[in-house]
Amino acid sequence: MQLKKEERSIMAYFADSNSAQRAQKELKEAGISEMQIDRVSRYGTNTDAEINNAITGRPTQTGLTIFSDKMLKLDEKGDEVDRRVLLGSDPSVSGMAAEDYGVAGDKSFLLTVVTSDEKEDAVRKIVKQNGGLV
């Protein structure tokens, strides 16, 4: 995506998805329409939200490794390599020795907003009011 001359992109990080969604809702009410929320992972992969989802009542401690999405990749020979073994060794899976252990500086939800130059200050204010870091 290429921004127009009078546009800005603002990236805001949140500790939880609820705060990011509240900010997104307030931004929509303020007339901002182009934005999205993404989960930031140190591994560049996503968990399968349909299977490993606390809201639907099916969270799993090992979901990061077992029910993950896009975990298979091809090596230089064309063979599939499964990264779940590497993820299984992460301290977040067992909880052992995981004191002060977080994802992306404890701000693992990214709200990306495209707005006009004149609305930039209002966007930043809404983000900060909802606990976001710009």
- Lowest model confidence (mean pLDDT) among 85-89, 99-103, 112-116, 117-121: 99-103
Segment holding 34, helix H or strand E: strand 34-39
Mean pLDDT score, 7-18 = 90
Whether the per-residue pLDDT at 127 is higher than 80: the answer is yes
- The predicted-structure confidence for 42-92, as pLDDT tens digits, reads as follows 655 555 555 555 555 555 555 555 555 555 566 677 666 666 566 666 666
Residue 103 has a pLDDT of 47
> Strand 7-14's sheet: what is its strand order?
7-14, 109-116, 34-39
Residue 29 has a pLDDT of 96
User: What does the block give as tokens for 61?
Assistant: 């401690």
- The predicted-structure confidence for 16-50, as pLDDT tens digits, reads as follows 889 999 999 999 999 999 999 987 766 555 555 55
Rounded CA-CA distance 52/25 in Å is 25
Backbone phi, then psi, for 33, in 5-degree steps? -115, -25
Directed axis angle between helix 17-29 and helix 120-129, to 10°?
A: 140
Spell out the domains of the chain, with CATH numbers in brackets: 1-40+103-134 (3.30.70.2750), 45-99 (no CATH)
